Amino acid sequence: MQFKGAFTALVTPFSNGQLDEEAYRKLIEWQIQSGINGVVPCGTTGESATMSHDEHKQVIRICVDQVKGRVPVLAGAGSNNTAEAVELTRFAKEAGADGALLITPYYNKPTQEGLYQHFKRIAEEVSMPFILYNVPGRTSVNLLPPTVARLNKDIPDVVGIKEATGDLNQVSQVLEFCGPDFQVLSGDDFTVLPLLSVGGCGVISVVSNILPDKMSALCSAWFAADLPKAREMHYLLASFSRMMFIETNPIPVKTALSLMGRINLEMRLPLTAMSPANAETLRGFLADKKLI
């Protein structure tokens, strides 16, 4: 399975504290109809940290059912508890996901050897394509290029990584050590085009929740060797990327989707509504861009 192009790190719509299945299905359908190349349920943007295991599984199950094989589903299945990550990965496979997105264990701060053994244990228990997820800003641990290369060499199921360091030198080293077939996806909406330029294959995006067509167009232009178009999309999306991170993700993107009429505005504590000033800034921005 190749994970290439623009993948959306889907938000999880809630209503009165429960998953809003109807809004979720409609969001997924709109993404596919808008040309997105793949979807990621139960990532950071999907507020996986506040979901019960039953909810987590329900979200993956619904996503796979709604997609019906039209685009790849890369299911978030990681945890800082290795046994729990095994359980969630096993469910993702049984539910029919095309791959599992496995974040580095957060809070524990494992060594590089601990990170290696964590992913090795998951692979020993479940066989399916794995995309590692390196986001030191969330986890306080950095999965270094030599460790990525070791995992890629020793574990055939480790086919790629979502790199959210924003560090192009690190991305370049990963590709240097792992080779051009290793699938490196940007986890940083600001650096999609630069990452593609050093050999990356796409992005797992927050911004594509509201602009699936534009993020997909950026990637498509790059793969069609249309650099002027790719650069145009890069700069068009730059202001949206800044706006989607004026507060902690996914607060701005869920607020934007609610203003666009696609979901209810509901997050789970400890996430809260945007400050009034930032909410007004976002509303004005979306109105100016003719999204509302």
- Active-site residues, by number, are 133, 162
Question: Which residue from 157, 218, 158 is spatially nearest to 186, judged by alpha carbons?
Answer: 218
Record the tokens describing residue 132, joined without a space: 């590692």
Task: For the chain, report the end-to-end CA distance as a whole number of angstroms.
Answer: 37
CA distance readout (Å), 68 to 39, 61, 123, 153 = 12, 11, 26, 32
Supply the DSSP symbol for 181. T
Residues 6 or more apart from 35 whose CB is under 8 A from it? 212, 213, 216, 217
Q: Which stretches does DSSP call E strand in 27-73?
A: 38-40
How many angstroms separate the CA atoms of 159 and 122, rounded?
Answer: 14
Is residue 204 classed as helix, strand or coil in its secondary structure? Answer: strand
Q: What secondary structure does DSSP assign to 212-267, as a single string?
A: HHHHHHHHHHHHTT-HHHHHHHHHHHHHHHHHTTSSSTTHHHHHHHHHTTSS----
How many angstroms separate the CA atoms of 76 and 43, rounded?
Answer: 5
Residue 56 C-alpha from the chain's centroid? 15
Phi, psi of 26 (to 5 degrees): -65, -40
How many angstroms separate the CA atoms of 101 and 37, rounded?
Answer: 16
